[in-house]
Amino acid sequence: MSSVAELEREVEATRCKLRELEMQLSDARERLASDNASGNQQVCSSTCAEASAAPVDGKGHSDMPIKAFVSSANSLTKDDIERFSRQMILEDIGAVGMERIRCGRVLLVGAGGLGSTIALFLAAAGVGELCIVDFDLVELSNLHRQVIHTTERVGLPKAESAARSCRALNPEIKVRTVAVPFSPANAEQLVSNFDVVVDGTDNVSARYVVNDAAARQRRPLVSGSALRWEGQLSVYCSGETVPCYRCLFPSPPPPAATGSCNNTGVAGPVPGCIGCLQALETLKLLSGAGDVLAGRMLLFDGLRMRVRIVSLRKRQINCPACGEGEMKRKHVPLHQLAAERPEYAVAPCDSGIATSARLLPEAARISPQEFHTRREQENGELKKFITLDVRTRVQFDMAHLPHSVSLPLPQLQEWKRDGVLASEWRRFISAHLSGDETEVDVFVLCRRGVTSVAATQLLLPLQHCGVEADGMHGEPPTFAGCESVHFRFMNVDGGLNAYHTQVDSDFPFY
């Protein structure tokens, strides 16, 4: 096994050396072309030599047609120069740099908010081959930030939709689509076929898989993220001392500490900005222009319009992704390491909803259909039941059911921490009771039926308004209309999204 690993390292080192020599050769050609005096003389000599060598007719005319133009980059066509001229005029790119871009192969993982602008700008810049990996479908809620898709393509695979837009922008680009999840089973094979990997994903699990595959295959990784008003950008795995993502974050944070566009929102231009910069770093890597953002991280705050660049620590020798130990076991496929790397596994949202609901006793659950029937029977009268919406106030203001009342989960959690949950609940609910109720059903709901489960768990001990709670002993303070009320708390399984699907499609789904 050790000999196999050594051979793999030698092969990879040889490949790196070959790429370095190719870049040196291109640089030498560019320097030669930029020397006007010698360059003009060379072109003249070459043209004269071709003319003298060409057969001539009796009148002294050559049969060989004279070339319309000569370029330092032999592969560039007239259309290339006309289309990409503004890019080639840049001294740091030039004809040779453009040729490198045209020969470049890029793997883009994700065709969402980040991937939209990454794909469009790489296609526009003339990248030779672009492979887009995304198994998701276009949704209406994507379109405010995922500008590569259109309203007409809602329901289509994102990878295919993105490829169509890229081809419409640049018909000459070679675009591949992979409409399956990027996973430990296919990550290394995909990464090994490309020069640069760009991470346009939006979840922690995919970020670790992309990083580990890029680190093993020694491919530079352009990584970005965007959430709310903020974004981050860095280039990993692009040098001997440059860290990978896992050098900085060996293990993922707890799920509660991470957010997503679905739960916390995102300002559409933020992933657009970060995606543009990811495309820029990719072009710099391919062309050899400038200094890439390796060993540094760009931090963007769109709300306050602040941009900072911070230095990162160097590559860690004991890193489980790019450290010496990991490089020695590259012969072990990444998917065989999944058991020791649980961060690779990502549970779909639906499974999280079902798991959350099962945390409650059956008596504390109600289906959207049953909930709707109760609302219809009572005709929305608050005396007999209350619909308690525990989403954030921002989401409540977006859209809520008629006659529902807002009490965000963070407020309940704060009352619990402060030891005043029972008294504050009585104070809150007394404002929504007429004063003569003895039993009230409280239907707790949120967007997807996850937050509401946590709220229901907090409220269940308060079934009887006069019970001891929060560490209080004796008779708790009373409030008008709440002295002897029995509450029955029930979570609406699946939340408002399930209500939309199963009961009333006129309620917005988001």
Point out the residues that are catalytic: 261, 446
SS3 percent helix, strand, coil of the chain, rounded to 5, is 45, 15, 40
Q: Are the beta carbons of 450 and 354 closer than 8 angstroms?
A: no
Q: Is 56 helix (H, G, I), strand (E, B) or coil?
A: strand
Alpha carbon distance 356, 448 (integer Å): 10
Kind plus residue range of the DSSP H or E element containing 158: helix 158-169
Alpha carbon distance 191, 286 (integer Å): 16
Q: Binding site: which residues?
A: 113, 134, 141-145, 158, 202-203, 244, 247, 319, 322
Strand 365-366 with 306-311, pairing: unpaired
Query: What is the DSSP secondary-structure string of 208-232?
Result: HHHHHHHHHHT--EEEEEEEBTEEE
The Cβ of residue 403 has, within 10 Å, a number of other Cβ atoms equal to: 15
The Cβ of residue 276 has, within 10 Å, a number of other Cβ atoms equal to: 18
The position carrying tokens 């699990």 is 205
Counting Cα atoms < 13 Å in the Cβ hemisphere of 394 gives 4
SS (H, E, C) 184-208: CCCHHHHHHCCCEEEECCCCHHHHH
The position carrying tokens 């001539």 is 56
Maximum separation of any 2 CA atoms in the chain, in Å: 122
Beta-carbon contacts of 78 under 8 Å, excluding residues fewer than 6 positions away, are: 68, 69
Alpha carbon distance 386, 389 (integer Å): 9
Beta-carbon contacts of 181 under 8 Å, excluding residues fewer than 6 positions away, are: 135
Q: How many residues does this entry show for the chain? A: 510
Kind plus residue range of the DSSP H or E element containing 26: helix 2-34
96-130: string of b/e by CB count within 10 Å (b at 16+)? bbbbbbbbbbbbbbbbbbbbbbbbbbbbbbbbbbb
Alpha carbon distance 319, 327 (integer Å): 10
Q: Binding site for ATP: which residues?
A: 113, 134, 141-145, 158, 202-203
Least Cα distance to 293 among 301, 285, 305, 302 occurs for: 285
